[in-house]
Amino acid sequence: MSSDATPDPYANPLVFGQRMQILRERKGMTRAVLGGLLGKSVDWVKDMERGRMQPPGIDMVYRIAQALRVRDLSDLTGRPDVHVDLFIGPGHPRLASVRAAVDTLQIGIPTGPPPRTAHLKARLASAWAARHSAPDHRDRIGALLPDLICDAQLAVQLAVQPTEWRAAQAVLAEVYSLSQFFLSYQPDSSLLWRVAERSMVAAQQSANPHSIGVSTWLLAQAHRDTGPDHYDAADQITQQTLDYLTPLLPDASDDVLAIAGALTFEAGYTAARRGDTADAWRYWDVAKGMAERLPASYYHPVTSFSQAIMGAHAVTVAVELHSGHESVRQAARADADIIPSRPRRARHRIEQARGYQLDRQPEAAIATLAQAHAAAPETIRYNGYARAIILEEVESKVADRRRRASELAVKVGLLAA
């Protein structure tokens, strides 16, 4: 081996411990917090970081990676042959056709009548409705997206009048937004970024406040989920769009007020990821006030922002702040049944399960993930946090918990039947 080659942390405990310490300190996490997440003492963390112990088994390595929000297992192990993205799910069977539609160039002068914007809006509304109501929501929207993408691109290309062109751009931006929901947590990050950026460009061309807000909301999430180095970018684009929308709010439609509320909560979400408790709850409180200005029955078709979602958002803030007790307390207050969207309800159940796991209630975590699966199997199948909890409990020493986790692992495709 070359003298400057990366040492194998499994052969050298100190190398593994150094990586673990660097990643922990980058997150601003104390040894006490990391130990609490792992069910270990401060001394255990300290001894591991200083190379006084042999590196743990793969199950604990996986748990450490999850606690430190390491996206790729090789970042922790230093082994390029252990290249596992912890937040990427399996590729959907319809991924190839969606990718082909995104990558297709409309070159030359098309023949035939242009797609009507009103018709595209109606198809888009049906697609959003299918996403919220169907347990196999990825499959449903994956079937609709290829034609929607091509027709929306064509509508922009064939638009004659400026107002018609801007309206077509607004529809195209939202079609790309719908595509991001399909592409999230799938093994094609570059395609997700292409779609996010195209959505933002189309929204800006449309000069439509709602389209701009939706595209920003998703682009900010893409930045935040890429890791701590991109938190500032997420904050910047969120704040810029809020600065643009705020003067419009006194006379805004419910949809524009809702997207401003959703962006406000996103700022709190990013603050929670940073560990900034005060800002996280401050933004949540402001967003809650904005939700209360909306009709009680209102539900935003893209972001789910509404009065019904604020309880779920509170659980997310507590979980991201790694407060197990507060997560469970907020989960007890939040009513999942009032969330009309099946995938959003499933995601809320996953966040609740994360809270139970933080609070060392693994039985409740597995039971709650089973509820998530019942609501929307395709949500839990592609969610890295849910997959991590299930895999952890598959190794449980408690027979009944191990059995239930294994049954769930089979259902979500983590283990063979």
d(CA 142, CA 181): 10
d(CA 182, CA 302): 12
Question: Is a pLDDT exceeding 50 seen at residue 378?
Answer: yes
d(CA 298, CA 338): 12
> Would you place residue 3 in the very low, low, confident or very high pLDDT band (cuts 50, 70, 90)?
very low
What are the backbone dihedrals phi and psi of residue 205, each rounded to the nearest 5 degrees, phi first? -65, -30
Question: Is a pLDDT exceeding 50 seen at residue 11?
Answer: no
Q: Within 13 Å of residue 80, how many CA atoms lie on the same side as its CB?
A: 3
Q: Within 13 Å of residue 204, how many CA atoms lie on the same side as its CB?
A: 11
Question: What is the CATH class of 13-77?
Answer: mainly alpha
Q: What is the pLDDT of residue 417?
A: 53
**Which part of the chain has CATH 1.10.260.40?**
13-77
Q: Which long-range contacts (CB under 8 A, 24 or more apart) does 386-391 make?
A: 386/350, 386/353, 386/412, 387/89, 387/412, 387/414, 388/62, 388/63, 388/66, 388/86, 389/353, 389/354, 389/357, 389/362, 389/365, 390/366, 390/414, 391/59, 391/62
The fraction of the chain above a pLDDT of 70, given in percent, is: 91
> Would you place residue 2 in the very low, low, confident or very high pLDDT band (cuts 50, 70, 90)?
very low
Contact indicator for 142, 184 with CB cutoff of 8 Å: no
> Would you place residue 6 in the very low, low, confident or very high pLDDT band (cuts 50, 70, 90)?
very low
Pick from 55, 63, 72: nearest CA to 360: 63
Neighbours of 190 (CB within 10 A): 7
Query: Could you identify the residue written with the tokens 């995938």?
Result: 343
What is the three-class DSSP state of 398? coil
Q: Which residues contact 76 (CB under 8 A, 6 or more apart)?
A: 16, 19, 20, 23, 61, 64, 65, 68, 70
Q: Which residues of 236-261 are buried (b: 16+ CB within 10 A; e: fewer)?
A: ebbeebbeebeeeeeebeebbbbbbb
d(CA 311, CA 320): 15
pLDDT by residue (tens digit) across 160-205?
A: 899 999 999 999 999 999 999 999 888 788 899 999 999 999 999 9
Question: Is a pLDDT exceeding 90 seen at residue 33?
Answer: no
What is the three-class DSSP state of 72? strand
Per the structure block, which two tokens stand in for 103? 């990558």
Q: What is the pLDDT of residue 239?
A: 97
Q: Of how many residues is the chain composed?
A: 417
> Would you place residue 9 in the very low, low, confident or very high pLDDT band (cuts 50, 70, 90)?
very low
Q: What is the pLDDT of residue 295?
A: 97
